[in-house]
Amino acid sequence: MKKILLVFGTRPEAIKMAPLYHELNKYTDIFDTKVCVSAQHREMLDQVLDFFNIKPDYDLNLMMPKQTLFDITANLLTALNRVLDDFSPDLVFVQGDTSTTFTGALAAYYKKQKVAHLEAGLRSSNKYSPFPEEINRKLTSVIADFHFAPTEANMKNLIAEGINDNIFVVGNTVIDALFLGLDLITKTGDENYYARFADIDFSKKVILVTGHRRESFGLPFENICNALKNIASEYDVEIVYPVHLNPHVRQPVDKILSDIRNIHLLEPLDYPALIWLMNKSYMVLTDSGGIQEEAPSLGKPVLVMRDVTERQEGIDAGTAKLVGTDISTIYNETILLLEDSNIYYEMAQKTNPYGDGSCATQIVAILKNLL
């Protein structure tokens, strides 16, 4: 048997690792699979673990109040030293571009253990946007032995950096997770969610908003909020904004949007509630990477409130559009989709470039031959 350790620490990582975890566990005669969570984001991580029925074998519980990137990296590296000694995996899987991703790869490298990178090859070509994710993923690529890239463009990014071996284009497990999650929700029914969001009028067009990027702190977030305020004041829509806990996000949101009748400011949502709400929405405004990938599978146009994105495939495919953080651009592009049904349906019906939900199956089939 080959021993595989999945290392992750945030909600997005857990979501994208969940399909791989369950697929690997179909082959317990081939793979001994264990999970190590850093708990870089404690509460939001636990919600996903519960929903997807994942029980960590190692829980490092590293989240601290006001933790810095220095704290996360140093503490995780030390803690992983003990985990890797205890399990001695044949392969360490990391996902994406968080501090847990890079540090997990680095720790495995120090132990001379092989590393697989899930969601490899994403690039914005700006090392400070997103920060610190762009450098995390580039450094992880240098370390990794196996690269599971969502798209051909991601593979080309790796090759351009001199990484030529063991690159596999498989799609993104976020689509696997989305379909798996919606299937679980369907089995329990819609009633609880309609009751939970009773203040939202679903007979109107619902605009789902998410925003949390560090590079948008300050004036960019104020611009986003003012654009939302203008949209809400002029159109009979329901704007739903689950607000990130970071005070750099909360302060401008509360100051500018808290008293507007048709803007619903919510506490951060658990994953099943978020994807249910996304499925009921008309369109999405976001700076989230995962939502750029997920929403098109549900036929929801995405406006990306960032100046650059490492998910250029969605822009090229027409499922998403970059609108930056300029007030008038966000407003105008949103209104275009609200008023012009032809433009709306042209975006909504585009093919999602991030896969069809078979990513985890492909990866495990590859692993059977690699290890």
By annotation, the residues acting in catalysis are 97, 119, 133, 212, 214, 244
Q: CA nearest 200: which of 261, 288, 283? A: 261
Tokens of 245: 């806990």
Burial of 162: CB neighbours in 10 Å, binned 0-12, 13-18, 19+? exposed
Q: 110 with 142: CB under 8 angstroms? A: no
Residue 206, beta-bridge partner list: 238
Helix (H) or strand (E) holding 313: helix 312-317
**SS3 (DSSP) at 135:** helix
**SS3 (DSSP) at 227:** helix
> Parallel, antiparallel, or unpaired for β 206-209 and 238-242?
parallel
Give the number of residues written for the chain: 371
